[in-house]
Structure 1
């Protein structure tokens, strides 16, 4: 039987069949090919993100008749992982927008969420200006960024100012949402602020990884919000509703790390093939024929596949939780998704940096040049993993087994 049409390797591929079907193959390939150059030059990916927006990445979950692709939640994570394998900075920069779309899909009859979906359908992305990081172990004390919106009768608009730290992706977003008290009636409202004068576009992020996510400070100075862009707040959840509403955030970040690990496996193949010299005490003339290096490549492949598998498990649990929304099964399914997300994070945060280190072992001195920027994989993994550290997840998982302790319900877990 001819092998012409039958691949001899079932190893990792950068682009999944779903991304290809949805028309993202070329952009993902292009982003992957230029990722190291962006890292070396510290070049923010404005052009790449604009191309992704135009192709509808930010609208994947919207129905086709609303400007989207009608992708399932699991499908969204497939494409996002492909993108993270190409450049985890870019995938990470979309997280807050994609979460807002996800939340809006559940409450699309509310005018605020309908506006979010409308903007997404226009291929625009939405960032956050909800809260700063004033949260301590003694208790949560979050404050709204535009805490008060003052009415300016001469311009028929509300005006506000404020700063948001850790504003991941806001450099690239077209609009921002948040909560504020409006001065005329003194009521708390939700607002949609579209990018315009007074919205900063500077980058002060100093992280050693995920350098191009725009995760620094977003500054809003005398920004204007038309009255039509103020909306009533969401009604409180019923006592029967599942209280864990932020699992998406953690699964998305873990999914990004899984994408980086896939890229590590792909880069490992290239690194071994490109090595021209073996150590004198090796067993083969060429590194690609060296048994020890072949074994290490196999280990990288196996561990990378395991990382993707456990990430898929958490994505599947989140998909099942989504499918039970509004039913009597929602509580148990959402709890299961939260626990699965914690399990995935504990394992992947442990394994992924090790896999990235094995890439250096495999390539040895051939891969330590800054030109290849392969150190970015370890750095990016560690910075993403620093969100909601796994130590707290480990303890919760142990407590849950021992006593039935339930996970925290806030966004910072």
Structure 2
């Protein structure tokens, strides 16, 4: 079996490293997100239609410094609030939700490093992130009983670990400098191995065929006797063994993507109704925008979106408050999980509703391929399947009615 170096060579040249922006604070993060979103929105429909992977765009994204905004201030990052993080993700996802989803696991993994890494690991990997390096993921598997039924194995071999298995739904792995892979040891404890792209035995296959989120490269990762130095392996089980905010953080990023999809769908609905739609013959008006039933539906959609955004911001503030006080308890994690669960219910529902209502209010011509408007519903339907919203209702109800704390895992 081939081995990799303890400190893998950078994929970024010296010249590129100087071009990587280091964002200083929350205000700068939001400004950069708005600037990038305007670039990402251009050509988003065409990329979706042609399933053209965003090679240039992903470089702009990580070079912008946004992928490093959650690196703690003690290690040179901006350490932005979760209110800011959710807003950044929402802004980017509204422009192109495939790009908005790309750093989803990356941000969760930065938190894993902070929670479980040694001081040496934190210094090394946070520096990599600040240098523009991207983390993909190799978490989920196809054909198992449930999401935590993993076949991938990680075993210790001297100063290395050996990883064998196969993953799917590996968002962003094709573009990643490191592919963190989750596997179980002989005691069925979870370990995360940060595997540099190009490592012998690591294959990333672009075979994602989902009808939505088409350019996320969420395909297959195959691992055959991959050797990883111990310095690149983290005890992932500790994230759930003890009370941490990793689950709520992972979930609030998901909800932010859905809020962005909803915002984009509603924006395109307004534009189409104003410029192309015709009023119904019984409405007695000349413009579709004056049709009272259309006006009513637009009002309803905005109320639902603003309610979802309000719960999303509230959940982010809950996480910020708990993170700031330190000494996180089981009650703290439960409160954060429930707050995020409430937000995720509404962001899921408005994303799907806005994507559907676009066609009802836009009319038959809104379905024409030349407009590319079907991507909003397809993206919403695909991304919201990450975990079932019906279980979020159960989580919230069981907490308030029976005092049952949500299980601690990345889906709560």
**Among 182, 195, 198, which residue is 1:196 paired with?**
198
Structure 2 residue aligned with 1:51: 60
Kept in 1, the 8 Å contact 2:202–2:223? The answer is yes
Q: Equivalents in 1 of 2:400, 2:151: separation in Å?
A: 35
Q: Is 1:171 the equivalent of 2:170?
A: no
Q: 1:214 aligns with which of 212, 217, 223?
A: 217
Deviations 1:360-391 (A, max 9, x none): 12211231111222112112112222122122
* Residue matched to 1:342: 341
**Aligned partners of 1:237, 1:43: CA distance in 2, in Å?**
36
Instruction: Say if 1:326 and 1:144 are closer, same or farther in 2 by CA, change over 3 A.
Output: farther
Q: Does 1:144 align with 2:178?
A: no
Report the equivalent of 1:10. none
Q: Aligned pair 1:95/2:88, yes or no?
A: no
Secondary structure class of the residue paired with 1:136: coil
Tell me, yes or no, if the aligned pair for 2:34 and 2:92 is still in contact at 8 Å: no
**How far off its partner does 1:317 sit?**
1.8
The structural deviation recorded for 1:188 is 9.4
Could you say which structure has the larger radius of gyration?
Answer: 1
Q: 1:180 to 1:99 in 2, by over 3 A?
A: closer
| Correspondences of 1:289-304 after superposition (within 5 Å) | 289-304=290-305
**Contact kept in structure 2, 1:130 and 1:144, CA below 8 Å:** no
Distance 1:402 1:70, change over 3 A: closer
SS in 2 for 1:192: strand
Q: Single out whichever of 82-91 and 207-216 deviates more from structure 2.
A: 207-216
* TM-score for the superposition, normalised by structure 2: 0.81
Question: Where do 1:8-407 residues align within 5 Å?
Answer: 18=27, 22-63=31-72, 66=75, 68-107=77-116, 109-129=118-138, 132=141, 136=145, 140-144=148-152, 147-148=154-155, 160-178=163-181, 191-197=193-199, 198-221=201-224, 223-225=226-228, 227=229, 229-231=231-233, 233=235, 236=238, 241-242=242-243, 245-275=246-276, 277-326=278-327, 330-407=329-406
CA distance in 1, matches of 2:398, 2:184: 39
Gaps of 5+ in 2: 1-25
Query: What are structure 1's unaligned runs of at least 5 residues?
Result: 1-16
In structure 2, distance between residues paired with 1:281 and 1:406: 53
1:340 and 1:238 map into 2 onto residues whose CA distance is 19
Deviation of 1:224 after TM superposition, in Å, equals 4.9
| Alpha-carbon distance change, 392 to 296 in structure 1, aligned in 2, over 3 angstroms | closer
Distance in 2 (alpha carbons) for counterparts of 1:201 and 1:162: 12
- Contact preservation (8 Å) 1:132, 1:164: yes
Residues 114-172 of structure 1: per-residue CA shift (max 9 Å, x gap): 333121111101123356457536x9542435x34768xxxx98765432122122111
* Aligned CA-pair RMSD: 3.3
Shift of 1:354: 1.8
TM-score between the two structures when normalised by the length of structure 1: 0.81
In structure 2, distance between residues paired with 1:389 and 1:234: 24
**What displacement does 1:339 show?**
0.8
In structure 2, distance between residues paired with 1:111 and 1:284 = 69
The equivalent residue for 2:7 is: none
Size of the alignment, in residue pairs? Answer: 384
Structure 1 residues 67 and 196, CA gap change in structure 2 (3 angstroms): farther
Change (3 A) 1:80 1:316: same
